Chain A
Amino acid sequence: MSQTAASDDGDGAVDGAGPLLAMRHIDKSFSGIPALVDAHLDVGHHEVRALIGENGAGKSTMIKVLTGVYRRDGGEITFAGQPASFSSPSQAQRGGIATIFQEVNLVPHRSVAENISLGQEPKRFGLLNWSAMNARARQLLGRLEIDIDVTRPLRDYPIATQQMTAIARALSFDARLVIMDEPTSSLAEQEVQTLFTVIRRLKQDGVSIVFVSHRLDELYAVCDKITVMRDGRTVLDAAMSDVSRYQLVSTMLGRELTVSERELRHVAAVHTQGDSLLSVEQISNEPAVLDVSLDVRAGEVVGMAGLLGSGRSETARAIFGADPVGRGQVVMAGEAVRFGSPRDAIRKKIGFLSEDRKLEGIIPDMTVRENMTLALLPHLTRHGIVSTKAQQEIVERFIKRLGIKTAGPDQLIRELSGGNQQKVLLARWLCTNPELLILDEPTRGIDVGAKQEIQELVRELADEGLAVLLISSEIEEIITGADRVVVLRDGRDVARLRGEEITADALMAAMAEGSATVVAEPPAGGGDR
């Protein structure tokens, strides 16, 4: 599957002939855990290079190694024919590599012109030369065909214009390579098109671009070449027009095209009978969630699949009341509900295991006991006082039932391994005796043993009548765990699969193209969501 062919030709070229940027055999690990392993990234002259990969694939680490945020453990970087080793992003910028983040990191209350000249202001007699500064800003923005009042503060302009300012600033450093890290994630459709126009102009002017995005349409619309990373390695380096969407998705997720996982599949008594416990009708929370519908019955595991940024977690959060629901409605046990906060959802016997254990799950300074009973606390309280006895009983029961490895209920949760922390958080919901459990990446970042235990537990719980909505980036987990699957793409539900239809093939095809197929048209158009 690995095609790192492009990295082998053109070595040895001194200048002009070789690629603009060549990162070869890059290694980087963090406290012993490898983040990059023999990774490659080449960017040619006049080239727009897509860089994609799932969470933790190593894209960001690669960019940070290049721009000097991290020091690499091994490998070589050649930029414009010279060995390059930047020790900070500002040094990289002076060297000709600029990075544009999705949240523009400029000074919002200073003028556009000041931001463009920040740190290299034109001076005359030791004073700021305002007219020169404004003229330069106009000239640089003119290269991007942007005509705005450069004396107004940056914050007066929409994000798209702020990004243009950042790009103009990059040009002022004579950047030869501009890295755009998910530049489109907060842009409206029309602004995306403007950005693409600018990208094409930059290319004509001889500036190369690394474009990070999760939206496949955009990649086909604007990129020439693509690098796919997975598990810290470069797994594909090809011309954009040579790879199909399907191939991209399967490479990103690391699946062979031919293998069928049906044999892996759990017997999965398909519970398709009975009424829905939860039914979600065309809910939206723009721009992440657009008219998503799904339903879950008691005793059933419904999988929610999709690529990074497809709106899976956002849909789950909207259902649970953690994020607002714009349009559409949620029906729980036949009754239309509107959850203003997670508290309301919990009262209706819904539980939600967040995908981010550290930021949204554990309370690190609290014990296993306190963490586990957090959602149940209202039921353990008499006259405002927590009943120690009832609490102890429940905690011990769940430690035993889930096989949580801990010195005892009074141990701080942060001292537990990831897998055991996750089990405590699962117990936090199970002890509330929920009817519906939403699990967002329940096995991410935990060891293999705990992973399997949690997967088996989910199945057991469903067999006992719990309704489960399971979100996972791992195709196997969806295939082996779910009775039915809803596939999301760019915020919309694009396919529904059940029983035998749930194959790696079908899932990846749906993630890549969706059933309401959008035709891939490489050069023009694009961006049609």
Chain B
Amino acid sequence: MSTPTRDRGPGGTSTASLPTSAGSAEGREGGPRGRLGRRLDGLRQTSPWVLLQRYGALLALVVLLVYNAVATENFTLENFVNTPLRQAVPVAVVAIGMALVIGTGGIDLSVGSVMAIAAQVGVILLLAGVPALAAMALAVLVGGLCGAFNGALVSRFGIQPIIATLVLFIGGRGIAKVLSSLAQGKPSGALLNFRDGTFSFLGLSKMRFFTPGGGVFAIPVQVLLLAVVAVVVAFVVRRASFGRYLLATGGNEQASRLSGIAVGRVKVLAYVTCSGLAALTGLVMAGNNSASAPATLGLNMELDAIAAVAVAGTPLTGGRITIWGTVVGAVMLQLLRFTLISHGAPQQVAQMVQGLVIVAALCIQRPGRSR
């Protein structure tokens, strides 16, 4: 029996029947300034600790950029865009989708496997003679279906997200491997090599822009793709009703349901978007390698993506996300690794330092120290 009327001690979750102290916000006037003015005002009033919590990842990124500019040989903006930034693209795109799922209070462990499935589907269709664009579209569609499966387990059957998505994390990897046998003359689990212009364009090409000084600035297509995804998703989160529903659902599911939000549908859509973006990333990586490796493509991606979201100061309890912060988090972690390795630190050391940075970020964001 649900007993919403049960007596609760005042030390418990609700102090409903006790007089609440009068508002802390009374009598503060906003003033007729513009949005930016108010925002700057807000920043000035915020304590440094809160600023560190909110913009710590950005600060770390700036520090790393400055350090590299001074201490790393041949570190130019173009160099940054073409190496560490490009390397960060897969994690960043997947992390954007992950942020949406985390915004609903969930988590998606299956992204790596979904990447592998999508890459396999895309490449197999391509090898079977389907035009590249159609193959890609179908691969993303299959990715979306994986998300619908995750979402249905979570919202319809009430399975905890970490377990629900574990199903595809394990099973999906198997599916990806089995798919290889659909390609002609290949055993299950085999690496699929291919040659295709469209895939290579997505994974390898660079767009050249002419700078005012007469030079040429090359930006990888991947990086542009990340920018487009980030702009679109950030806009949706900020301005579209879906974004509002998403954060409301994560912020207080009961209240959202009572306000008429179809919380189940919102969650499913978040998982679909997350898997769709993972699928897209899988195609990018296949294009980058001119091969689809079902056993390794996207391996451990879920953990890197969750780390990027967490480093951005996003609470895993849901209701509050930042798309730009997530991108910054992913890029920062990648640049950190790049910096260490280009200064001669071995791979293992880089991993350990990354771990330390994540721990530090989570300690800073520990609830209770803010507000």
Residues of A within 8 A of B (CB): 30, 33, 35, 53-57, 59-61, 64, 70, 102, 182, 185-186, 287-288, 308-309, 312-314, 320, 322-323, 341-343, 346-347, 352, 354-366, 370, 374-375, 377-378, 380-381, 384-386, 388, 405-408, 410-411, 415-420, 428, 441, 444-447
Please tell me if B1 contacts chain A, counting CB pairs below 8 Å: yes
Q: Which one of A370, A388, A445 contacts B16 once the chains associate, using CB atoms below 8 Å?
A: A445
Please tell me if B240 contacts chain A, counting CB pairs below 8 Å: yes
Query: Would you call A322 and B257 a contact (CB within 8 A)?
Result: yes
Q: How large is the interface on B (under 10, 10 to 19, 20 to 34, 35 or more residues)?
A: 35 or more
- Please, which residues of chain A bring their CB within 8 A of the CB of B17? 54-56, 444-445
| Known contacts A381-B241, A417-B20, A447-B19, A287 near B248 by CB under 8 Å | no
Closest CB of chain A to B321's CB: distance in Å? 10
Query: Would you call A361 and B241 a contact (CB within 8 A)?
Result: no
Q: Mark B11-22, 1 if CB is under 8 A from A, else 0.
A: 111111111111
User: How many interface contacts (CB-CB < 8 Å) are there between A and B?
Assistant: 193
Query: Would you call A56 and B258 a contact (CB within 8 A)?
Result: no
Q: How far is the CA of A59 from the CA of B17 in the complex (A)?
A: 13
Please tell me if B44 contacts chain A, counting CB pairs below 8 Å: no
Residues of B within 8 A of A (CB): 1-30, 38, 239-242, 244-245, 247-248, 251-252, 254-262, 319-320
Q: Which one of B7, B240, B247, B260 contacts A342 once the chains associate, using CB atoms below 8 Å?
A: B260
Query: Would you call B252 and A363 a contact (CB within 8 A)?
Result: yes
- Please, which residues of chain A bring their CB within 8 A of the CB of B27? 405
Q: For the complex, would chain B's binding face be called helix, strand, loop or mixed by DSSP majority?
A: loop
Query: Would you call B30 and A60 a contact (CB within 8 A)?
Result: no
- Please, which residues of chain B bring their CB within 8 A of the CB of A408? 30
Q: How far is the CA of A158 from the CA of B3 in the complex (A)?
A: 19
Q: How far is the CA of A354 from the CA of B257 in the complex (A)?
A: 12
Query: Would you call B18 and A56 a contact (CB within 8 A)?
Result: yes
Q: How far is the CA of A159 from the CA of B8 in the complex (A)?
A: 22
Please give me the residue from chain B that is nearest to A375 by CB atom.
B259
| Known contacts A33-B18, A55-B16, A308-B5, A362 near B255 by CB under 8 Å | yes
| Known contacts A309-B5, A346-B260, A356-B4, A61 near B10 by CB under 8 Å | yes
- Please, which residues of chain B bring their CB within 8 A of the CB of A447? 19-20, 22
- Please, which residues of chain B bring their CB within 8 A of the CB of A308? 5, 7
Query: Would you call B14 and A35 a contact (CB within 8 A)?
Result: no
Query: Would you call B259 and A445 a contact (CB within 8 A)?
Result: no
Q: How far is the CA of A236 from the CA of B26 in the complex (A)?
A: 40
Q: How far is the CA of A462 from the CA of B203 in the complex (A)?
A: 64
Closest CB of chain A to B360's CB: distance in Å? 24
Q: How far is the CA of A342 from the CA of B26 in the complex (A)?
A: 33
Among B1, B26, B251, the most chain A Cβ lie within 10 Å of the Cβ of: B1
Q: Which one of B20, B26, B262 contacts A418 once the chains associate, using CB atoms below 8 Å?
A: B20
Closest CB of chain A to B249's CB: distance in Å? 9
Q: How far is the CA of A361 from the CA of B16 in the complex (A)?
A: 12
Closest CB of chain B to A216's CB: distance in Å? 16
